[in-house]
Structure 1
Amino acid sequence: MAGDKAVSVANKPQMRGLLNAAIKRNLILSLTFAGISGFAFQQLVGAARKKRYAEFYRTYDAEKEFEEMKKKGLFQSC
């Protein structure tokens, strides 16, 4: 039993390049999360907004809107 090691040697802590490693990890994580959130925003908010604008302009009648504003007296020159 004298040849068996009962206690193992612990690894030394990394001292050199620790800041660079942390910056690299944080940069990769932040770019990944920014990309995921940007894509999610585009799909969840942008697509719905684009669809609502398309529907509005498909049914929009500028002449009718102008006549309604003219009847209400919103224009001084008309």
Structure 2
Amino acid sequence: MSLPKPMMRGLLAKRLRFHLPVAFALSLLTAVAFKYGVTEPRKQAYADFYKQYDSVKEFNYMREAGVFESVRPSGE
């Protein structure tokens, strides 16, 4: 009793017919999950931060702390 020969002709095309749509669907699902799981919350966090951000107040705070070498604190 011998084993039957494996079918080699058309094997790649047969496997791709199944794996290509599965790979495409998984990549699409991953992209959508990344968009709504990472980028949208990040954009919302930036929007929330800049709603209340006062750049002039932050600049004055850093100037008083001596962060900038070219700008003197207002007390001098």
- Aligning the two structures, in what range does the TM-score lie when normalised by the shorter sequence? 0.7 to 0.9
- List structure 1 runs of 4+ shifted beyond 3 angstroms: none
The residue number in structure 2 matching 1:46 is 39
The structure, 1 or 2, with the larger RCO (C-alpha pairs under 8 Å, 6+ apart) is 2
Counterpart-to-counterpart distance in 2, 1:77 and 1:18: 71
Alignment of 1:27 with 2:20, yes or no, is yes
Partners of 1:41 and 1:69 in 2: CA distance: 36
Task: Provide Cα deviations, 1:15-73, integer angstroms capped at 9, x if missing partner.
Answer: 42111221332222111101001101111222111110100111111000100100110
Greater CA drift, 16-25 or 34-43: 16-25
Q: After TM superposition, list the pairs within 5 Å mapping 1:5-24 onto structure 2.
A: 14-24=7-17
Q: How far apart in 1 are the matches of 2:45 and 2:53?
A: 12
> Identity across aligned pairs (percent)?
38
Q: Which runs of 5+ in 2 are unaligned?
A: 1-5, 72-76
TM-score, normalised with respect to structure 1: 0.74
Q: 2:68 aligns with which of 66, 71, 75?
A: 75
Letter in 2 for 1:62: S
* RMSD (Å) for aligned C-alpha atoms: 1.5
**If you compute each CA radius of gyration, which structure gives the higher value, 1 or 2?**
1
Gaps of 5+ in 1: 1-12
